[in-house]
Amino acid sequence: MTTATDRSQTAQGSSDPRADEIGSQPSDPPIDDVSSSNDPSAEADETLLEASNLEFAYGDVTILRDVSIAVDAGTVTALIGPNGTGKTTLLRSLAGLQEQTSGSIEYHGPDVPRKIGYLPQQPTFRPGFTVIETLEFYASLVGESREDAVSRLDQVGLADAASRRVEDLSGGMTRLLGIAQATIGDPPIVVLDEPGSGLDPGMSTHVFDVAGAFADAGTAVLVTSHDLGLIERNADEVLLLDDGVVAERGHPTELLERLDVDTLRAAYEASVAGDLHRVRVQGESQ
């Protein structure tokens, strides 16, 4: 993957058993749709999704507070922060999978059948089906063909595993199939929650390379990760979340300069004053 500076449906209601796993992605997310046009293409740096003053609470516990974010075409936007600080909640809200308590989310991208693709932290697929059978099913939900599914498998590096059953895939290959599922139908926005979690360094790098290739082609990629080295090399914008608020934001280089540090990890520590791997519980550091 080139560095950031170098880069210019739901199956709900289906009787097919392959609908019982990862495919909880709505084809028309419950966000304000102010689609710019019927043209499926999007110019680089065009804002596709804009969230303003988001808040999210579970009962009396506030998870997100006054969070605003703009997601642009052809860019990688990364969310980093402690475990339990609201990253997944924010991603799911932006993907239209859960409704925020207050604030607004507007989609400004092209009017296409699938607007947002989503990869959860732990993608699972219905056992008993091959890789190509699984992806062909998801392709059919958005009007894509078997040939499109084959092409997407090749794009993510799974062409040689097309006939393998999904339960026989390694963790890294399962993530790659998840990315193929999240991007089938060419949604303008792709949301990836910890795509490299639990993978060896080489596979994590490959997963980020694949995500970056989609951004190179104009897709807006929104990702969370604890691998700050990969984020520093690949992100166009970083948002540092701490206890449900945005503590810092900017291009990695801007953050390093502004905080007078040499690495994104040091920027993180300077911004949130804590351990990357600590867990937030009800607003407290644990």
- Mean per-residue pLDDT, 250-254: 95
Q: Mind listing the pLDDT tens digit for each residue in 84-125?
A: 889 999 999 999 999 999 999 999 999 999 999 999 999 999
Question: Is residue 221 predicted with pLDDT exceeding 70?
Answer: yes
* Per-position DSSP letters for 122-173, written without gaps between them: S----TTSBHHHHHHHHHHHTT--HHHHHHHHHHHT-GGGTTSBGGG--HHH
pTM of the model: 0.82
Give the CATH fold of the 45-110+189-197+224-275 domain. Rossmann fold (3.40.50)
Q: Mind listing the pLDDT tens digit for each residue in 263-283?
A: 999 988 888 755 555 555 544
The Cβ-side half-sphere exposure at 133, using a 13 Å CA radius, reads: 15
